[in-house]
């Protein structure tokens, strides 16, 4: 219909745009927890601060992946219901549709992005915390 539009590029862009919201939310949760923990305990070293960030990241990871999965599958639900209500469609055919494959791929890309961003956020937060001289030891 639109010969100048590359659908593969649009698909790849949508995969990464879908993950950006989860990445921002996760990064803010980790850095916020680190800075709040250091309001109470200013004697922590950078390694301990990093460990705090990783613990928060582990907690956020599972809930965020579930959120991504359910949000993406919910967006495909109306299409699945329409296909299911047509005569002759089996459950196996519905599960193997492009809609489900796309939503599972989006979830996978989001999950992998989260696994990468958690340690990066913890390291950056610990570094900036040390640079702002909030009485954090550098060991």
- Residue 121, pLDDT > 90, answer yes
* pTM of the predicted structure, to 2 decimals: 0.73
Range of the domain at 38: 7-131
Q: Is residue 57 assigned to a domain?
A: yes
Terminal-residue alpha carbon distance, the chain: 61
Report yes or no: 68 and 22 within 8 Å, Cβ to Cβ: yes
Q: Is residue 138 assigned to a domain?
A: no
Q: Is residue 52 assigned to a domain?
A: yes
Q: Is residue 70 assigned to a domain?
A: yes
Q: Is residue 137 assigned to a domain?
A: no
Give 57's DSSP letter.
H
- Residue 124, pLDDT > 60, answer yes
Q: Is residue 2 assigned to a domain?
A: no
Report yes or no: 63 and 35 within 8 Å, Cβ to Cβ: no
Q: Which two tokens stand for residue 38?
A: 């250091």
- Residue 135, pLDDT > 70, answer no
Give the total number of structural domains in the chain.
Answer: 1
Q: Is residue 123 assigned to a domain?
A: yes
Residue where the block lists tokens 């916020």? 32
Percent of the chain with pLDDT over 90: 9
């Amino acid at each position: 219909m639109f010969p100048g539009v590359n659908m593969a590029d649009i698909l790849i862009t949508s995969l990464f745009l879908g993950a950006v919201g989860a990445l921002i939310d996760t990064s803010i949760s980790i850095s916020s927890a680190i800075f709040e923990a250091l309001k109470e305990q200013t004697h922590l070293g950078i390694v301990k601060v990093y460990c705090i960030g990783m613990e928060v990241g582990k907690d956020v990871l599972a809930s965020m992946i579930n959120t991504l999965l359910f949000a993406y599958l919910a967006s495909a639900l109306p299409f699945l219901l329409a296909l299911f209500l047509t005569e002759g469609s089996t459950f196996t055919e519905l599960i193997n549709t492009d809609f489900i494959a796309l939503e599972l791929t989006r979830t996978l890309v989001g999950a992998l992005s989260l696994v990468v961003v958690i340690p990066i956020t913890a390291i950056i937060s610990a570094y900036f915390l040390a640079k702002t001289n909030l009485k954090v030891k550098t060991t």
